[in-house]
Amino acid sequence: MGLRAAVLAVGTAVGWLAAPAMAFELAADADPAVREIVSACSDAVANTAVPATGGWQKSQPSGADSIGDPPDTLYAQTAIDGVGPLYLRLTTEVSNGSRVSHCSVSVIDPQRPLPVADFGKADGLVATSGGDVQSVWFSTDNKVIVTVIPRTDPDGLLFLLDVVADAVL
């Protein structure tokens, strides 16, 4: 299995993200909370640190959240008015000439629905599957993958942003 296939298979399950070569921004008409979630994950990966805006604070994982995570995994949390608490997880690895960071943002029990389709509102993204169960978008160069997995119990979602980039060693 090649690196890209491995990123897709595992990334969809655990939230992989590699350092983006460019800023990843959503369209202006995307839901403000969705924009904040995408911005936080993009910022965390670009800087390999807790997002600089949005009130994110370092935190510790609870229980099973840390099973299988490398020791240098970064956890952070914040809250968005009208949505509720958000939880971010970020790890960074170098493999097969790529620097790969794994990032996810979980919204466990939002106070209001978040429009899943808005997570794919960025220039250059093409929808490959969608619906109420899961939505996936790819960039035309196949280096950016956006996955949103809605949860039903509790009613929340998991946002994953995968970016494949060359490692700078």
What's the pLDDT tens digit per position in 63-114?
Answer: 555 566 777 789 999 999 999 999 999 887 777 887 777 789 999 889 998 9
Residues 6+ apart with CB under 8 A from 121: 26, 27, 29, 30
Q: Say if 68 falls within a structural domain.
A: no
Q: Say if 67 falls within a structural domain.
A: no
Cα–Cα distances (Å) from 43 to 57, 63, 89, in that order, read 14, 26, 13
Q: What is the pLDDT of residue 130?
A: 61
Q: What residue type is 24 in one-letter code?
A: F
Q: What is the pLDDT of residue 169?
A: 56
Q: What is the pLDDT of residue 48?
A: 84
Instruction: Write out pLDDT tens, residues 111-134.
Output: 998 988 888 888 888 888 665 556
Between these two residues, 29 and 91, which has the higher pLDDT value? 29
Which of 14-23, 52-61, 138-147: highest mean pLDDT? 52-61
Question: What domain range is 136 assigned to?
Answer: 3-60+73-163
Number of C-alpha atoms within 13 angstroms, CB side, residue 121?
Answer: 16
What pTM, to 2 d.p., does this model score?
Answer: 0.77
What domain count does the chain have? 1
Cα–Cα distances (Å) from 25 to 6, 76, 137, in that order, read 25, 21, 14
Cα 166 to Cα 169: distance, rounded to the nearest angstrom: 9
Q: What is the pLDDT of residue 163?
A: 67
Q: What is the pLDDT of residue 28?
A: 92
